[in-house]
């Protein structure tokens, strides 16, 4: 792509402190976008018998990441809070201007997450962050001013159709994909595009060497994903080259889980 049309656009990337989110923020910054890196502030310890599969990142580390991205800021918010979407937009608008692009990358994931261990609280935690918060952030984008054309890219998972062993996470991501299609239709008249990327197994530090070899054997293209693989797809869907694409879920997984 010679010109993605992203120079000077204001992009909000949730969950941008590390891994895929950080790669997405770097990719937009490389296109000249003004980027807001959202991160989770300090969080409470999990309930007894539960392990968080995500962690809050020290603010200093997020600031260090943003410092290397040109016109970038960091914003902290707990997306499980009912008023977080509006507050997040308020801060980004105050510091960078109206938001043009939202990337809903932040996610809640916990263990155990099986159907026989599911509780009201565990399911609520997953859906609040993985489905409700993206819906509210998309709503904020639709109601506020921005530079046309505006768009949203949601980050799902290639196993959203069926994710045994991760019931709350998988079903909340399936809801996110349904939200992508519905919001795309609702917002088409306003010229706002809504798409999603569904990553396969991506090495963000959680896979051992043994697991990497197992994953390679299960991926038709024979490699595990890197955060940059997902970031490149997100930038494409936000670019002018994708101007006639909306309501789609793009699987970026090397053929995994087809």
Residue 62: phi and psi, rounded to 5, are: -70, -40
Do 195 and 242 form a contact (C-beta atoms < 8 A)? yes
Q: Which of 89, 163, 169, 236 is catalytic?
A: 169
Question: Dihedrals φ, ψ of 12, to 5°?
Answer: -105, 120
Is there a catalytic annotation at residue 169?
Answer: yes
Q: Beta strand 150-155 with 192-199: parallel, antiparallel or unpaired?
A: parallel
Residue 74 contacts by C-beta under 8 Å, 6 or more apart in sequence? 36, 37, 38, 39, 59, 62, 63, 65, 66
Q: Which of 8, 26, 3, 2 is nearest to 230 (CA)?
A: 26
Give the three-state DSSP class for 65: helix
As annotated, the active-site residues are 169
């Amino acid at each position: 792509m010679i010109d993605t049309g992203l120079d000077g656009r204001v992009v909000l990337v949730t969950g941008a402190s590390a891994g895929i989110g950080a790669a997405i923020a770097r990719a937009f910054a490389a296109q000249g976008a003004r980027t807001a890196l959202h991160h989770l502030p300090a969080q409470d310890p999990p309930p007894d018998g539960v392990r968080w599969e995500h962690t809050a990142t020290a603010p200093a580390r997020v600031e260090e990441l943003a410092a290397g991205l040109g016109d970038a800021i960091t914003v902290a918010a707990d997306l499980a809070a009912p008023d977080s979407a509006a507050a997040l937009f308020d801060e980004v608008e105050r510091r960078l201007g109206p938001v043009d692009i939202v990337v809903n990358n932040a996610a809640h994931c916990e263990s155990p997450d099986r159907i026989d261990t599911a509780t009201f609280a565990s399911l609520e935690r997953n859906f609040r962050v993985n489905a409700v918060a993206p819906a509210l952030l998309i709503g904020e984008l639709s109601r506020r001013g921005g530079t046309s054309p505006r768009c949203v890219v949601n980050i799902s998972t290639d196993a959203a159709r069926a994710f045994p062993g991760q019931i709350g996470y998988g079903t909340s991501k399936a809801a996110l994909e349904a939200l992508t299609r519905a919001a795309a239709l609702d917002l088409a008249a306003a010229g706002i595009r809504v798409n999603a990327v569904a990553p396969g197994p991506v090495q963000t530090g959680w896979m051992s060497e043994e697991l990497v070899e197992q994953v390679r054997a299960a991926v038709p293209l024979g490699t595990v994903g890197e955060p940059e693989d997902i970031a490149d797809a997100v930038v494409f869907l936000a670019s002018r080259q994708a101007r006639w694409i909306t309501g789609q879920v793009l699987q970026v997984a090397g053929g995994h889980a087809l």
